[in-house]
């Protein structure tokens, strides 16, 4: 009687051991192997970072208890990090100019009318000739007999003289905007500063409102502006006879304090980078 009982007990123990090994293998992520003679945590790679048995989890996941757990993606809450690109064109004298710029992301609509703009776009507004084009090939960037520069780092919005210009908050903006500059830049101009969250970090952006007839009354450096506040009125200062609003968005380079820049440095490529406005303007409801 003793031997059959011993053999039965041994068979049951072997069966239990085999089932345990199968369950550990099944719990391991694809492409990994769990060792049946290790505790579950170590077999799944949840021990030390140097464990040779740690599973190879796909990007944006971490091993936890034998499975790969997704890690929260900060870009969903704080916007995507906008990538700078190097571009170039020939200036009016034929010299090659190289510069950094942030082109429109492919998933952002190309049609400017889908965005909230500081002034309404007129029905006959042509964004082909007045929109951002620094990301286009050299020969496709706008040029003209009356233009001092080649290429366009913003968007020109034709409107009636005196039309109020409303401040538009940028996507993923944190807090209200504040005024960096009021004075002569692109004609009469107002420059606002916006803190924008990108990939969980705050980046400094500025928006230039140019060729104004005049700034809003009482607007001075340091003023805080909520969404919809009037920054000025459409005019043709600096562009006689061409009544329009020039809107330009630029991002401060790493280590640059916008508040410390002189007016002439605000739009300088060594201090700030031109950004396609469609990357950061909010979409219309």
Check whether residue 43 and residue 127 sit in a common domain: no
- CB burial of residue 102 (10 Å; 0-12, 13-18, 19+): buried
* Residue predicted with more confidence, 132 or 256: 256
Q: Name the pTM for this structure.
A: 0.71
Give the count of domains, the chain.
Answer: 2
Name the range with the highest mean pLDDT among 85-94, 122-131, 257-266: 257-266
Q: Is residue 100 part of a domain?
A: yes
Reference 158, options 193, 200, 132, 130; nearest CA is 130
Check whether residue 220 and residue 106 sit in a common domain: yes
Check whether residue 53 and residue 91 sit in a common domain: no
Last residue of a domain, one of 70, 95, 121: 70
Tens digits of per-residue pLDDT, 209-248?
A: 999 999 999 999 999 999 999 999 999 999 999 999 999 9
Check whether residue 60 and residue 93 sit in a common domain: no
Check whether residue 12 and residue 97 sit in a common domain: no
* Three-class secondary structure of residue 265 per DSSP: helix
Q: Is residue 76 part of a domain?
A: no
Check whether residue 268 and residue 156 sit in a common domain: yes
User: Residue 4: is its pLDDT beyond 70?
Assistant: no
Look up residue 201 and give its two tokens: 């970090």
Domain that holds residue 14: 2-70
Residue matched to tokens 């599973």: 55
Check whether residue 19 and residue 159 sit in a common domain: no
* Residue predicted with more confidence, 222 or 136: 222
Look up residue 89 and give its two tokens: 């064109």
Check whether residue 267 and residue 204 sit in a common domain: yes
Tens digits of per-residue pLDDT, 37-51?
A: 333 332 333 333 334
Check whether residue 66 and residue 101 sit in a common domain: no
Tens digits of per-residue pLDDT, 18-34?
A: 444 434 334 444 333 33
Output the CA–CA distances (angstroms, integers) from residue 150 to 173, 177, 244, in the order listed.
Answer: 31, 30, 19
């Amino acid at each position: 009687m003793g031997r059959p009982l011993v053999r039965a007990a041994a068979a049951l123990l072997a069966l239990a051991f085999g089932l345990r090994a199968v369950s550990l293998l099944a719990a391991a992520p694809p492409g990994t192997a769990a060792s049946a003679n290790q505790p579950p945590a170590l077999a799944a790679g949840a021990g030390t970072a140097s464990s040779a048995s740690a599973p190879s989890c796909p990007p944006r996941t971490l091993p936890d208890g034998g499975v790969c757990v997704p890690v929260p993606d900060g870009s969903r809450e704080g916007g995507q990090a906008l990538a700078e690109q190097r571009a170039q064109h020939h200036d009016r004298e034929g010299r090659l100019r190289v510069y950094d710029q942030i082109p429109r992301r492919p998933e952002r609509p190309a049609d400017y009318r889908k965005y909230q703009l500081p002034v309404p776009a007129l029905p006959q507004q042509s964004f082909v000739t007045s929109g951002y084009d620094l990301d286009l090939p050299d020969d496709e960037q706008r040029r003209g007999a009356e233009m001092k520069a080649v290429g366009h780092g913003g968007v020109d919005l034709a409107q009636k003289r005196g039309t109020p210009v409303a401040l538009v908050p940028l996507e993923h903006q944190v807090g209200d905007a504040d005024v960096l500059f009021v004075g002569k830049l692109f004609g009469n101009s107002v420059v606002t500063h916006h803190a924008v969250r990108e990939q969980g970090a705050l980046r400094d952006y500025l928006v230039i409102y140019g060729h104004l007839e005049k700034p809003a009354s009482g607007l001075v450096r340091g003023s805080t502006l909520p969404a919809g506040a009037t920054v000025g009125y459409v005019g043709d200062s600096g562009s006689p006879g061409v009544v329009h609003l020039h809107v330009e968005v630029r991002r401060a380079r790493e280590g640059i304090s916008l508040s410390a820049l002189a007016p002439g440095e605000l739009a300088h490529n060594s201090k700030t980078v031109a950004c396609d406005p469609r990357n950061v303007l909010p979409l219309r409801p």
